[in-house]
Amino acid sequence: MARPGLIPILLLPALVDAAAAISFLMPVNSRKCLREEIHKDVLVTGEYEVSEQQSTKSNLKITDSSNHILYSKEDATKGKFAFTTEDYDMFEVCFESKSPMGTGRVPDQLVHLDMKHGVEAKNYEEIAKVEKLKPLEVELRRLEDLSESIVNDFAYMKKREEEMRDTNESTNTRVLYFSIFSMCCLIGLATWQVFYLRRFFKAKKLIE
Which spans in 43-134 are helix H?
124-131
Q: Which residues contact 119 (CB under 8 A, 6 or more apart)?
A: 17, 142, 145, 146, 149
The pLDDT score that the predictor gives to residue 13 is 38
The pLDDT score that the predictor gives to residue 207 is 66
Closest C-alpha among 31, 34, 37 to residue 10 = 34
The pLDDT score that the predictor gives to residue 19 is 54
Closest C-alpha among 56, 59, 64 to residue 38 = 64
If you write DSSP's letter for every residue of 34-61 in order, what string do you get?
Answer: EEEEE-TT-EEEEEEEE---TT-EEEEE
The pLDDT score that the predictor gives to residue 16 is 38
The pLDDT score that the predictor gives to residue 208 is 63
Note the pTM of the prediction, 2 decimals: 0.60
Structural domains for the chain: 9-122 (2.60.120.680)
Q: Torsion-angle region of residue 102: left (phi > 0), alpha (psi -120 to 50) or beta?
A: left
Q: Strand runs (DSSP E) across 74-192, as ranges?
A: 78-84, 89-98, 109-117
Closest C-alpha among 129, 125, 114 to residue 82 = 114
Backbone φ, ψ for residue 13 (5° rounding): -65, 140
Distances (CA, A) of 124 to 121, 131, 132, 138: 9, 10, 11, 7
Alpha-carbon span 113 to 16, nearest angstrom: 19
The pLDDT score that the predictor gives to residue 3 is 42
The ranges of the chain with pLDDT < 50 are: 1-18
